Copies of this chain bind each other. A is one copy, B any other.
Amino acid sequence: MKKIRVTIWNEFVHERQEGEWGDKIREFYPHGIHNTLKENLAAEDLEIRAVSLQDPDQGLPDDLLQNTDVLFWWGHCAHGQVADELVAKIQRRVLEGMGLVVLHSGHESKIFQRMMGTRCNLRWREIGESERLWVVDPAHPIVRDVPMTFSLPHTEMYGEPFGIPQDGHIVLMSWYQGGNVFRSGVAFQRGAGRIFYFSPGHESIPIYHDQNILKVLANATRWAAPELPPQPTGCWHDADPAEPVPQA
């Protein structure tokens, strides 16, 4: 069996913070969100690498990026530090067919905004309210074996309007105790690549230990994995017409 090569990228800033707040985060994510996800998504058909902005080449040297089938992205306060050249390389890989799973505050990451063409702006609030998710397309592979509804006791609120393009296929929607709603699980295709945005996932809440959340992410990994070799993305000089063009 050919394994799906998954690379989980994390800016890895909050988890290294000193003091009480950092301690709270490390309780759930002792070696960073990326390593927790690596452990919690482990499966026979996946070859998972956990990397971070703190690693050489910002965690994504060319060779690794070239050999990634599905890239997870978690960022929040260090979006601006990601090099524009790296963003361009990732964009090209997605257009070639690499899957991209954008998590939570990654809505404002350079790579997600670059793929969407929009600001991906939204309403937000952090008061520890509860969130309830609903499956909107029960036939979508991303919600295979996921309950039609499930809740998270504490969450950061992300609410509409959400500044994304119109062709997002809505897989899940969220209800918040404080009165907001959100398209929390949305699937896109750009070029040959599949993109899934999934909003739950704050750093100070053990969301990436929740079994339903992990099921969604596990499904999204298989859904986003390319079925074809990398597709060409450039323009093509079609010099010879396929049908005869009489010369005047």
Closest to A177 in B: B245
Q: Is the CB of B118 within 8 A of A137?
A: no
17 A-B pairs whose Cβ atoms sit less than 8 Å apart in the complex: A95-B163, A97-B139, A118-B191, A119-B234, A121-B233, A124-B236, A124-B237, A134-B180, A138-B192, A139-B192, A157-B238, A159-B238, A163-B233, A166-B189, A174-B181, A175-B179, A175-B243
Q: Is the CB of A125 within 8 A of B238?
A: yes
Interface residues on A, range: 35 or more
Majority secondary structure of chain A interface residues (helix, strand, loop or mixed): loop
CB-CB contacts of A99-142 with B at 8 A, as 1s and 0s? 00000000010000011111101111101111010111111010
Closest to A107 in B: B235
**Residues of B contacting A132 in the complex (Cβ-Cβ under 8 angstroms):** 179, 242-243
Q: Is the CB of B177 within 8 A of A139?
A: no
Contacts A129-B245, A148-B161 known; 12 new A-B pairs at CB < 8 A: A95-B163, A121-B236, A125-B240, A125-B241, A132-B243, A134-B161, A134-B180, A138-B161, A139-B192, A151-B179, A166-B189, A175-B243
Q: Is the CB of A161 within 8 A of B135?
A: yes
* CB of A30 closer than 8 Å to a CB of B: no
On A, residues with C-beta under 8 Å from B are 91, 95, 97, 108, 114-119, 121-125, 127-130, 132, 134-139, 141, 144, 148-149, 151, 157, 159-163, 165-167, 169, 173-181, 188-193, 226-228, 231, 233-243, 245, 248
Q: Is the CB of A239 within 8 A of B125?
A: yes
Closest to A169 in B: B166
CA distance A228 to B160 in the complex (A): 19
Other-chain residue from B117, B134, B245 in contact with A160 (beta carbon distance below 8 A) = B134
Among A175, A227, A228, A233: residue with most chain B CB under 10 A: A175
Closest to A116 in B: B117
